[in-house]
Amino acid sequence: MADGSLIGKVQDLSDLELALLISLVSQEHCLISTAPDALNDLVEELQLTATKTFGLSHVVIDCDANTTLSSFTSALLVPKPQSPTRAPSPFSTRTESYFVSRPKSQSYHPSKPLFPGPSVYIPNVVFAKNFDQAPHAVQIQALELLRSRRIYTRTSVHTAPKQFLFVPVLGAESGGQARVTKHLNDFLFVAHWHDPDDGYINLEEADGGVDAETASTGSVVKKASPLDTPAPSEVLFSEKDISQIAHLSREVDVDVEVTRYLMNVVSFLRLHRAVAEGVTPTATKHLEQLARCLAPLHDLTFVTPGLVDLAVRKVYLHRISIVTPEKERSMQWGSRLSAVAAVLEDVGPEDVIEDVLEMVTAPL
């Protein structure tokens, strides 16, 4: 069981912070979406979350239909922080001023390493904005990065850090409409749709600090970019905290009745008349993994049916595809197309999930 201070920090998290925490604990990747008009605010909030809450380096890749493999790779790699250079010695200055005839080409620069290493690296968190608009080849390249944890350039191979998170950030009217290419979509652990009405905690705090500074100085201050925000000396969740939660999730007990309930939900999802595809073996594995991960966050040592319900809503939100009326199974038995179309009208993955959770009886 997690200690009280750790549980207290978890309970104070926002929905976006919790989504990133779950992904870091599970060492998986997630998809986050919101209304298209609020996409820029969401990206800034996620950057502040990565910096302030977890103390992780990050990069934002703004994608569109013209994104190429080379531009995606170059945007993924960020420059390494420059190490402080050594100040010139006064003795060296006097010597060079004395020997005025010394050629400049023979000057010595102690700050430059003799064998320089790679000047760029893969940050801890990659936010791929509008990644659903990127070409299929770019999305497959990202899938290869997630599987191998490596990215290849013309001159070298770059390895992802131990704490690595790839987050497609998409604009959509609902969570069920936000998705990427098929194989990458199934590889992503969970999906979360952020309601703009829920606000942006870190962004509002940053704006409040800027407003206070503006009021005190009486000058016009431009809103600081999240990339300019320095990392705090003490983050809310350290790598040790994340490792502790991951260890607790591996020790969670799952009763046979809860396992049966989980499998019944999967079966009902697969057989639902509105589902075309998306209930994959990978999704089933992620479902059990997320249910285990949620237990220590709720200060539990076992999985409850309620945690399974919560996990189902996150694991299948981006996976379930709604069947077209022409391919709905009852059409094989003589149903009228207009009647089937009326039944499937405005049905989304959220509706299918709630329908199944109402049909399947949870164990007492």
pLDDT range class, residue 4, cuts 50, 70, 90: confident
pLDDT range class, residue 5, cuts 50, 70, 90: confident
Q: Each residue of 228-237: b (16+ CB within 10 Å) or e?
A: ebeeeeebbb
For the segment 324-330, the average pLDDT, to the nearest whole number, is: 93
Q: Is residue 322 over pLDDT 60?
A: yes
* Numbers of helices and strands, H then E, in the chain: 14, 11
Handedness of CA 234, 235, 238, 239 (dihedral sign): negative
Distance spanning both ends of the chain, measured CA to CA: 23
Between 224 and 285, name the one with better pLDDT: 285
Per the prediction, the chain carries an average pLDDT of 86
pLDDT score, position 6:
87
DSSP 317: T
| Cβ–Cβ under 8 Å, residues 227 and 353 | no
Question: What is the CATH T-level fold of the domain 251-364, as seen in this structure?
Answer: Helicase, Ruva Protein; domain 3 (1.10.8)
Residue in the block written with tokens 């070409």:
135
Here the tokens at position 250 are: 């591996």
Q: Write out the residue limits of the CATH 3.40.50.300 domain(s) in the chain.
A: 4-80+118-223
CATH, domain range 4-80+118-223: 3.40.50.300
Q: What is the DSSP string of 169-235?
A: EEE-SSGGG----HHHHHHS-EEEEE-GGG--HHHHHHHHHHHHHHHHHTS--PPPPGGGSPPPSS-
The per-residue pLDDT for range 142-170, each reduced to its tens digit, is 999 999 999 988 888 999 999 999 999 99
pLDDT range class, residue 220, cuts 50, 70, 90: very low
pLDDT score, position 82:
67
Q: Is residue 89 over pLDDT 60?
A: no
| Cβ–Cβ under 8 Å, residues 269 and 360 | no
The per-residue pLDDT for range 45-73, each reduced to its tens digit, is 999 999 999 999 999 999 999 999 999 99
Q: Is residue 39 over pLDDT 70?
A: yes
pLDDT score, position 104:
43
Question: What is d(CA 126, CA 149) in angstroms, rounded to the nearest whole number?
Answer: 13
Q: Write out the residue limits of the CATH 1.10.8.80 domain(s) in the chain.
A: 251-364
For the segment 311-320, the average pLDDT, to the nearest whole number, is: 97
Handedness of CA 241, 164, 60, 118 (dihedral sign): positive
For the segment 336-358, the average pLDDT, to the nearest whole number, is: 95
